[in-house]
């Protein structure tokens, strides 16, 4: 297998593997500690150094499992880039959910570090934008997290470009740590934010991107071309919005177009979809998801197909 390429994480000195691994829906729901460890080991052994997590994933259990896995595998904390994200909260009470207020953020990082039994995360994200908390309060709180040594960098996820721009300007003007990265959805179906909305920010602040759902929750593997298989993400009761996306006629048509390119080129739909995301130079790392080891193995094989996928880029762009 070819070696994993690395890219700079936005305007920072941190190098991240072009493909990384995340735990949404899977850790603590579809996967127990045994399969978590298998996947973490396989990913790490194949060059993945960036691992995506969030406070809200399995209500904190995902954070626990990921670090339990790394510890039991004997991996050193500094061998990995560990992340978490804050916004929804895991306590159903006022000021601790759906917010980025300082009170919530300062206790949320402490909770995450306690669950993960570590002193710091490498990247702390604001998981969504909160229009009710003033931008200066958010930036000061994220800066404080870094000054306290609890996070090394900070970023945003699914923020509007205008809010990222405001946060960046405020940080620069006040000598505070700047956001370096945004985490948007990016795949052959959802392209606008990355390709249009964030465009001015690549130039202005060298914004990095850690992109999510490269396979549109599995649709772009082709597994949903003939209905919804038992045990798949779209078959889960709690994932009804994913089911809607997958059954959407436009999206189905795009999956069919990808299937046609796959048949013609002999490269799997999965590899074409993953490789296409990585071809965008503004993407720092493509966060992979997998509910079992076989999927992760298959997905990481994309690294050795990048040259062939580059030649198909124009055709894939047409989808």
Where in the sequence numbering do the catalytic residues fall? 57
Nearer residue to ligand NDP within complex by CB, 12 or 53 = 53
Nearer residue to ligand NDP within complex by CB, 225 or 260 = 225
Residue 37 near ligand NDP by CB under 6 A:
no
Phi then psi for 17, rounded to 5 degrees? -65, 145
Collapsing DSSP states into helix, strand and coil, what is residue 282? coil
What is the nearest approach in angstroms of ligand NDP to the Cβ of residue 54?
A: 7
Alpha carbons 166 and 145: distance in angstroms, whole number? 19
Alpha carbons 133 and 73: distance in angstroms, whole number? 40
Encoding tokens for residue 92?
């159903």
Question: Which of 38, 158, 245, 301 touches ligand NDP (CB under 6 A)?
Answer: 158
What is the nearest approach in angstroms of ligand NDP to the Cβ of residue 158?
A: 6
Alpha carbons 171 and 124: distance in angstroms, whole number? 16
Nearer residue to ligand NDP within complex by CB, 112 or 299 = 299
Question: Which of 12, 23, 112, 285 touches ligand NDP (CB under 6 A)?
Answer: 23
**Secondary structure of 213-281 in HEC code, one letter for each residue:** CCCHHHHHHCCCCCCCCCCCHHHCHHHHHHHHHHHCHHHHHHHHHHHHHHHHHCCCHHHHHHHHHHHCC
Give the binding range for ligand NDP (CB under 6 A) out of 19-27, 36-44, 193-201, 276-284: 19-27
What is the nearest approach in angstroms of ligand NDP to the Cβ of residue 173?
A: 27
Give the binding range for ligand NDP (CB under 6 A) out of 17-25, 101-109, 198-206, 277-285: 17-25
What is the nearest approach in angstroms of ligand NDP to the Cβ of residue 307?
A: 20
Nearest 5°: the CA angle 275, 208, 7 is: 55
Residue 35 near ligand NDP by CB under 6 A:
no
Instruction: With beta carbons less than 8 A apart as the criterion, state whether 177 and 138 touch.
Output: no
Give the binding range for ligand NDP (CB under 6 A) out of 6-14, 94-102, 286-294, 301-309: 286-294
Alpha carbons 130 and 84: distance in angstroms, whole number? 17
Nearest CA to 285 out of 9, 3, 40 is that of 9
Residue 275 near ligand NDP by CB under 6 A:
no
Residues 225-254 that bind ligand NDP (CB under 6 A): 232-233
Instruction: With beta carbons less than 8 A apart as the criterion, state whether 285 and 210 touch.
Output: yes
Give the binding range for ligand NDP (CB under 6 A) out of 68-76, 254-262, 290-298, 303-311: 290-298
Residue 28 near ligand NDP by CB under 6 A:
no
Instruction: List the x/- string, 190-229, binding to ligand NDP by CB under 6 A.
Output: ----------------------xxxxxxx--x-x------
What is the nearest approach in angstroms of ligand NDP to the Cβ of residue 246?
A: 10
Cα 208 to chain centroid, rounded: 12
What is the nearest approach in angstroms of ligand NDP to the Cβ of residue 272?
A: 12
Residues 59-118 that bind ligand NDP (CB under 6 A): none
Alpha carbons 174 and 136: distance in angstroms, whole number? 10
Number of residues that bind ligand NDP (CB under 6 A): 30
Residue 282 near ligand NDP by CB under 6 A:
no
**Quick one: DSSP state of residue 169?**
H
Contacts of 9 (CB under 8 A, 6+ apart): 15, 16, 123, 153, 180, 181, 208, 210, 284, 285
Rule CB under 6 A: which residues touch ligand NDP? 22-26, 30, 52, 157-158, 183, 212-218, 221, 223, 232-233, 270, 287-291, 295, 298-299
């Amino acid at each position: 297998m070819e070696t994993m390429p690395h890219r700079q994480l936005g305007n920072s000195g941190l190098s991240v593997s072009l493909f990384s691994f995340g735990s949404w829906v899977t850790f603590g729901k579809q996967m127990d500690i045994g399969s978590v460890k298998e996947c973490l080991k396989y990913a790490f052994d194949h060059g993945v150094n960036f691992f995506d997590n969030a406070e809200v994933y399995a209500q904190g259990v995902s954070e626990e499992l990921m670090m339990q896995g790394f510890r039991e595998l004997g991996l050193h904390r500094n061998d990995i880039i560990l992340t978490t994200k804050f916004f929804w909260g895991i306590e159903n009470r006022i000021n601790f959910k759906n917010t980025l207020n300082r009170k919530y953020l300062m206790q949320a990082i402490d909770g995450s570090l306690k669950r993960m039994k570590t002193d710091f995360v490498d990247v702390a994200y604001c998981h969504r934008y909160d229009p009710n908390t003033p931008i200066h309060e958010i930036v000061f709180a994220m800066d404080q997290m870094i000054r306290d040594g609890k996070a090394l960098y900070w970023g945003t996820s699914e923020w509007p470009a205008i809010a990222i721009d405001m946060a960046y300007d405020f940080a620069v003007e006040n000598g505070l740590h700047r956001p370096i990265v945004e985490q948007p959805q990016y795949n052959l179906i959802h392209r606008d934010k990355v390709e249009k909305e964030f465009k001015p920010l690549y130039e202005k602040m060298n914004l990095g991107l850690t992109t999510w759902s490269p396979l549109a929750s599995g649709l772009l593997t082709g597994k949903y071309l003939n209905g919804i298989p038992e045990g798949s993400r779209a078959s889960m009761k709690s994932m009804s919005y994913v089911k809607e996306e997958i059954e959407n006629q436009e999206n189905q048509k795009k999956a069919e177009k990808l299937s046609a390119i796959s048949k013609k080129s002999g490269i799997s739909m999965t590899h074409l979809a993953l490789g296409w995301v990585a071809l965008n130079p503004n993407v720092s790392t493509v966060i992979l998801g997998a509910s079992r080891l076989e999927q992760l193995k298959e997905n990481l094989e994309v690294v050795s197909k990048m040259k062939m996928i580059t030649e198909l880029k124009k055709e894939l762009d047409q989808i």
